[in-house]
Amino acid sequence: MDEDNLNIEIRKFLKKVGITSQREIEKFIRMSVANGNLKEGQSIEISMNLSSENNELSHLIKETINIK
């Protein structure tokens, strides 16, 4: 296995996931603040599930985002 290529491919995937996820979270928070469903001082729980096509890989990440 070409370790360098594997590393590059994983980094490309993670960059795409990171950028897209950040935009979606920001859009959701801005919309929630604008329509009054979310206010300063509140927080939201978010999660991300990493999985493979055959579901042999499954990794769940949960986090709280505090709105200031």
Q: What is the DSSP letter of 37?
A: S
Query: With a threshold of 0.75, does the pTM exceed it?
Result: yes
4 contacts: CB under 8 Å, gap ≥ 6 = none
The pLDDT score that the predictor gives to residue 18 is 96
The pLDDT tens digits of the residues spanning 4-34 come to 999 999 999 999 999 999 999 999 999 999 9
The pLDDT tens digits of the residues spanning 42-68 come to 999 999 999 999 999 999 999 999 999
Single out the residue of 15, 18, 10 nearest to residue 48, CA to CA: 18
Q: In the chain, where are the structural domains located?
A: 3-66
The pLDDT score that the predictor gives to residue 43 is 96
